[in-house]
Amino acid sequence: MSYEKVLQAKGFIIGTKQTVKALKLGTIKEVVIARDADQKVIAKVADTAAEVNVPVVYVDSMKKLGKVCGIEVGAAAVAITI
């Protein structure tokens, strides 16, 4: 289901660093995190999302999340913009 949200989103940001930056700017309405991503990598994203009250949705696969975003590699986190 969350893969479809990313597909239907008008705008999104791919990657953990960019997601954290956008969360701090307040331009994100939802974050999608891949469960198979390294916990150290996604911890900062999840913590920052919790701090700014942005909902986090988890999906199973980095590879599939990346594919949905139109990139050839896996994506650990994707932020859906407002």
User: Each residue of 38-48: pLDDT tens digit?
Assistant: 999 999 999 99
Cα separation, 72 vs 25, in Å, equals 28
What are the structural domains of the chain? 2-81 (3.30.1330.30)
Model pLDDT for residues 28-79, shown as the tens digit of each residue: 999 999 999 999 999 999 999 999 999 999 999 999 999 999 999 999 999 9
* pTM tops 0.85, yes or no: yes
CA distances, 4 to each of 26, 31, 69, 80 (Å)? 23, 13, 10, 12
